[in-house]
């Protein structure tokens, strides 16, 4: 790879063009920042330089500050690793330059990249350039003056919206707002920027320093009202993310006391936030998601993905229709197979409804909607399977049915066709038992609803070929999923790690703990819903089928609760029929259904595990730990068995598949923050009180005893099933 550098070239017109060269996105690594300062100081000294243009190479301005620096800060605990860029460079060298500086922006200017552009005296952009300050998505706030300069250029309300949402805008909108001075073609960008810089130097255009402007801020009372509304919104939408409110405080300081004061507070708060747990968790998740693209013996052996033009989906239920929708929206032709015309029409209607829903949510055009649906064909037999490149089976969790389907697929599909199953729990060797095509059988485990949830677990057996994994991995990327390759076992990674969480919820309820209290505690921790509401949402049939498979595979650590069967017997099926633990009425939020309490009492009588016949007395913190520590314990077994390539894969899978709060970094990262010793001691105590369900795993015991983090690579783990 070419060495990162900053170049300075002076033209005959007296304009110095300073170019950031750090492929692929011109990240502002520390050496780049140092070099930028040197080049600007050189341009300032030189008598042949009248004006300066700052730009980026390769059609990109800059994607911002190098996030690896945050990781270094987290590892060392030393915030001084981060240089003072805000005052030393952006304020004094760039904005304070005695020669006008124009930013020539193409492709993207994000985070620190946009903050550099804000420090320039004018900004010229190419069409459809992305402009944004996404720092809050990493648990920090803009730290190079963005909290002060952006409101002064686009107005307070829009600046708050851009920062708190972390979403970029395009240069066309930036021009309307006053962030961009002109939009020109990429071919004309440097020429126009040079000319603009000279016109400022010759006093034909205004020399504007963003930090000094106040014309877009409005009156102090208006600004305070805007900030008050924003704070109320932040408390409502991001109650667990204190950096949202910290960002608003910094913005307010600059409005009340002036831009320089705001910069001082921004620098102080930035340093505090970068060391906070929220930033540690979010930065870890960022790198964990990146790491999923590296799959040993698949992405590093020179293989090229085959083109997947046509995919058959078997089963048009909730999962099948969702998978088909995701494929169609990415211009992949789909054959949807069902057992009869009635089910087929229902499946097609679901897909049409999914696509229409995304027209509203994602802003798809009617034309895009029609084009997507034109790629769908329904079928009641295998006649359209002769030229498919991939099949994804998405029928109910029945071993005999899946085995029958796969033995049929082997006969009707072309030899290159990838044979995938969307099973959520069943061992793939069992699914493909009656076939001779073990090398092309792979798990494609989507999460519900499949066209919305971002995770795709790719499950490999010892015989699945690297080419098949790469093909499915590539399709996952095309349909905008995050594919995580995992080894084959019952429940795979996410469902296996979290089945004890659901079993523990039932154990607690049968021990006398209130069902709605458990859900509230889990919501307070940061998950969008508790285990019982989630069970309502998924349907009780799914819960029973998955529970049966997992109990069969791991009988030593399951809790057999009759509660779900009692609910079904009494005509309840969760959200499917509007009655479960909660009442579901159209147009209103789920409400606790207190008429379920006698059924819970019936379950308690059957299990008879309440200590001394009285409800278990536990604190909210104990409930939280009794729910999550068994999941950590199972995660330890998954790590020990090599089901995932790296601990970070289980973290990103828990965030994207189970909605584990991203700011807590994922299940393993969170457990390391809590401390393996505390988790081990708690589980050991509970196993003595309540039985083997809580028995600590060998891996957890070893890590706790040796004082090692759970995420540290195993020194002598068995051959990794995710790498084979």
Mapped onto helix, strand or coil, the DSSP state of residue 484 is strand
Is 75 noted as a catalytic residue in this protein?
no
C-alpha 348/C-alpha 336 separation (Å) is 8
C-alpha 494/C-alpha 491 separation (Å) is 7
Provide the 10 A C-beta neighbour count for residue 526.
Answer: 16
DSSP state of 693: G
Provide the 10 A C-beta neighbour count for residue 267.
Answer: 17
Token representation of residue 315 = 């089963």
Count of positions (residues) in the chain: 724
Max CA separation in the chain (angstroms): 92
The residue from 41, 42, 75, 115 that is catalytic is: 115
Using alpha carbons, list the distances in angstroms from residue 649 to 214, 380, 473, 540, 719: 47, 38, 14, 29, 17
Q: Which of 253, 96, 124 is nearest to 185 (CA)?
A: 124
Contact status, residue 535 vs residue 518, Cβ threshold 8 Å: no
C-alpha 272/C-alpha 139 separation (Å) is 11
C-alpha 316/C-alpha 382 separation (Å) is 15
Q: Which of 492, 522, 463 is nearest to 661 (CA)?
A: 522
Using alpha carbons, list the distances in angstroms from residue 254 to 148, 160, 258, 260, 266: 6, 13, 5, 7, 9
The residue from 135, 393, 410, 641 that is catalytic is: 135
Bridge pairing between strands 15-21 and 5-10:
antiparallel
Q: Which of 100, 176, 197 is nearest to 131 (CA)?
A: 176
Instruction: Write phi, then psi, for 103 (nearest 5 degrees).
Output: -90, 125
Query: Based on C-alpha coordinates, what's the Rg of the chain?
Result: 28
Token representation of residue 681 = 């001691």
Give per-residue burial for 454-464: e unless 16+ CB within 10 Å, then b.
bbbbbbbbebb
Contact status, residue 501 vs residue 630, Cβ threshold 8 Å: yes
C-alpha 53/C-alpha 227 separation (Å) is 35
% helix, strand, coil for the chain, step of 5: 55, 10, 35
Q: Which of 411, 401, 413, 251 is nearest to 335 (CA)?
A: 413
Strand partners, 455: 482
The helix (H) or strand (E) run that includes residue 604 is helix 597-607
Using alpha carbons, list the distances in angstroms from residue 460 to 467, 484, 486, 684: 11, 11, 6, 34
Is 410 noted as a catalytic residue in this protein?
no
> Measured between alpha carbons, how far apart are the two ends of the chain, in Å?
30
DSSP 673-692: HH-HHHHHHHHHHHHHHH-G
Bridge pairing between strands 130-132 and 169-170:
antiparallel
Q: Which of 593, 566, 589 is nearest to 579 (CA)?
A: 593
Q: Is 363 left (phi over 0), alpha (psi -120 to 50) or beta?
A: left
User: Which residues carry out catalysis?
Assistant: 115, 135
């Amino acid at each position: 790879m070419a060495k990162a550098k900053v170049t300075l070239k002076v033209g005959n017109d007296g304009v110095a063009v300073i170019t950031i060269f750090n492929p692929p996105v011109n990240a502002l690594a520390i050496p780049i920042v140092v070099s930028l300062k040197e080049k600007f100081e050189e341009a300032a000294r030189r008598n042949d330089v009248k004006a300066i243009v700052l730009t980026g190479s390769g059609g990109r301005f800059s994607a911002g500050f190098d996030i690896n620096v945050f990781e270094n800060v987290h590892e060392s605990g030393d915030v001084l690793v981060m240089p003072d860029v805000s005052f030393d460079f952006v304020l004094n060298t760039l904005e304070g330059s005695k020669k006008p500086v124009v930013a020539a922006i193409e492709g993207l200017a994000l985070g620190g990249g946009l903050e550099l552009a804000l420090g320039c005296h004018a900004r010229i952009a190419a069409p459809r350039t992305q402009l944004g300050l996404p720092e809050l998505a990493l648990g920090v706030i803009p730290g190079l003056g963005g909290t002060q300069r952006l409101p002064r250029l686009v107005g307070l309300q829009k600046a708050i919206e851009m920062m708190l949402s972390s979403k970029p805008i395009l240069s066309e909108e930036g021009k309307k707002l006053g962030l961009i001075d002109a939009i020109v073609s990429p071919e004309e960008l440097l020429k126009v920027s040079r000319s603009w810089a000279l016109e400022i130097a010759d006093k034909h255009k205004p020399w504007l320093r963003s930090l000094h402007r106040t014309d877009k801020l409005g009156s102090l009372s208006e600004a305070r009202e805007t900030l008050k509304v924003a704070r109320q919104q932040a408390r409502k939408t991001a109650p667990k993310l204190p950096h949202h409110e910290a960002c608003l405080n910094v913005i307010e300081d600059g409005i009340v006391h002036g831009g320089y004061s705001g910069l001082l507070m921004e620098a102080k708060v930035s340093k505090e936030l970068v060391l906070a747990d929220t930033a540690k968790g979010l930065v870890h998740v960022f790198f964990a998601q990146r790491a999923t693209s590296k799959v040993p013996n698949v992405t590093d052996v020179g293989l090229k993905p085959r083109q997947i033009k046509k995919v058959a989906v078997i089963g048009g239920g909730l999962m099948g229709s969702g998978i088909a929708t995701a494929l169609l929206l990415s211009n992949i032709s789909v054959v949807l197979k069902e057992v009869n015309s009635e089910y087929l029409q229902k499946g097609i209607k679901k897909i049409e409804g999914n696509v229409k829903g995304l027209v509203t949510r994602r802003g798809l055009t009617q034309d895009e909607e029609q084009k997507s649906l034109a790629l769908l064909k329904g079928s009641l037999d295998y006649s359209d399977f002769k030229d498919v490149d991939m099949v994804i089976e998405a029928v109910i969790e029945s071993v005999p049915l899946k085995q029958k389907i796969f033995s049929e697929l082997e006969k009707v599909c072309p030899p290159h066709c990838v044979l995938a199953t969307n099973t959520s729990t069943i061992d793939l060797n069992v699914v493909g038992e009656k076939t001779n095509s073990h090398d092309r059988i792979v798990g494609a485990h989507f999460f519900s609803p499949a066209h919305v949830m971002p995770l795709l677990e790719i499950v490999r057996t010892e015989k699945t070929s690297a080419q098949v994994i790469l093909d499915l991995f590539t399709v996952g990327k095309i349909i905008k999923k995050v594919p995580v390759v995992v080894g084959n076992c019952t429940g795979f990674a996410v469902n296996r790690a979290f089945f004890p969480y659901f079993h523990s919820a039932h154990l607690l309820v049968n021990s006398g703990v209130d069902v709605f209290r458990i859900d509230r505690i889990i919501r307070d921790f940061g998950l969008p819903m508790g285990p019982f509401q989630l069970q309502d949402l998924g349907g009780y049939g799914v819960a029973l089928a998955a529970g049966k498979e997992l109990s069969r595979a791991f009988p030593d650590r399951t809790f057999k609760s009759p509660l779900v069967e009692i609910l079904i017997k009494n005509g309840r099926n969760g959200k499917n029929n509007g009655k479960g633990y909660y009442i579901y009425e159209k147009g209103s939020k789920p409400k606790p259904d207190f008429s379920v309490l006698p059924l819970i009492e019936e379950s308690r009588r059957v299990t008879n595990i309440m200590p001394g016949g009285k409800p278990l007395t536990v604190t909210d913190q104990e409930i939280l730990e009794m729910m999550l520590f068994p999941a950590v314990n199972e995660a330890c077994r998954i790590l020990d068995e090599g089901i995932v390539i790296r601990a970070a894969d289980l973290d990103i899978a828990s965030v994207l598949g189970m909605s584990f709060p991203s700011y807590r970094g994922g299940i393993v990262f969170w457990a390391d923050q809590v401390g393996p010793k505390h988790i081990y001691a708690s589980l050991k105590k509970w196993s003595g009180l309540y039985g083997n369900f809580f028995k600590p795993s060998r891996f957890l015991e070893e890590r706790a005893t040796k004082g090692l983090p759970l995420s540290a690579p195993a020194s002598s783990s068995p051959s990794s099933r995710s790498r084979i």
